[in-house]
């Protein structure tokens, strides 16, 4: 059976308070025996002060609380804010490799809504080696990378990344772009041409969004919203819960 770990880039940033709450109280509650979600935060603010809502985690260490909240001893960030090298993400991936069993890791952000049954079906049909894919992007027509809100990798790819994390931390590029630079270009561990590509995300905040079309006819499992449209997340969640089986 394919095991999947969803790594949600969470934050205490006040502008994300509502969507951060929704990410932990909507789709995450749709349990699946082979899918686990970890919400990872930094334990320090941008001034290096400990964030009071979390236990004090020493710098450079990580601590799991409440079964699915991972606190990293680094500045709390969303994407590249305060932490352009993305150390928070690397710390979370390294922790999850050491402590959890999984075949694929899906890294998202807290404005994503994940339809777990489709996620599990798509990745169960995907080979388990040399995978790094998701929402594809290209920087300056030369650096291929996967956009941070929807990127998944096989366990072996994550292991190679952590073994070479010095390349990532030394990269001149920002977080998700740095991942692509290391995995695709510096290490040449895999490539887009070698991926069994699926179209796996949709912009769900747009006014013409038709949820039933995407749920019934595609491999889309990541529905991207915006932090200022939490009411659309709630409406979509109610639609999913009322109309679709979320347990399989």
Joined tokens for residue 196:
């069994």
pLDDT for 174: 85
Using a cut of 0.75, tell me whether the model's pTM lies above it: yes
With cut-offs at 50, 70 and 90, classify the pLDDT of residue 197.
confident
At 205, give phi and psi (nearest 5°). -85, -10
What is the b/e burial string over 167-190, where b = at least 16 CB atoms within 10 angstroms of the residue's CB? ebeebebbbbbbbbbbbbeeeebb
CA distance 157 to 131: 7
pLDDT in tens, 65-74: 989 999 999 9
* Residues 172, 153 contacting (CB under 8 angstroms): no
Looking at the chain, the whole-number percentage of residues with pLDDT higher than 90 is 76
Residues 94-145 pLDDT 10s: 999 999 999 999 999 999 999 999 999 999 999 999 999 999 999 988 899 9
């Amino acid at each position: 059976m394919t095991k999947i770990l969803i790594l949600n880039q969470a934050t205490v940033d006040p502008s994300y308070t509502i969507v951060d709450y929704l990410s932990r109280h909507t789709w995450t509650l749709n349990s699946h025996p082979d899918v686990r979600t970890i919400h990872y935060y930094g334990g320090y603010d941008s001034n290096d002060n400990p964030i009071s809502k979390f236990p004090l985690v020493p710098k450079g260490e990580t601590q799991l609380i409440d079964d699915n909240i991972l606190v990293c001893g680094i500045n709390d960030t969303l994407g590249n804010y305060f932490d352009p090298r993305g150390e928070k993400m690397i710390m979370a991936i390294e922790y999850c490799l050491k402590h959890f069993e999984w075949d694929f890791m899906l890294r998202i952000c807290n404005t994503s809504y994940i339809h777990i049954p489709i996620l599990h079906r798509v990745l169960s049909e995907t080979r388990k080696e040399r995978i790094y894919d998701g929402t594809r992007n290209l920087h300056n027509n030369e650096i291929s990378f996967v956009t941070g809100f929807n990127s998944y990798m096989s366990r072996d790819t994550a292991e190679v990344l952590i073994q070479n994390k010095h390349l990532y931390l030394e990269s001149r590029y920002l977080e998700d772009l740095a991942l692509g630079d290391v995995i695709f270009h510096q290490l040449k561990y895999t490539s887009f041409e070698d991926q069994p590509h699926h179209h796996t995300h949709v912009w769900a905040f747009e006014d013409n969004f038709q949820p039933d079309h995407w749920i019934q006819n595609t491999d889309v499992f990541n529905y991207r919203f915006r932090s200022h449209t939490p009411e659309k997340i709630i409406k979509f969640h109610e639609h999913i819960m009322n109309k679709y089986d979320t347990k399989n």
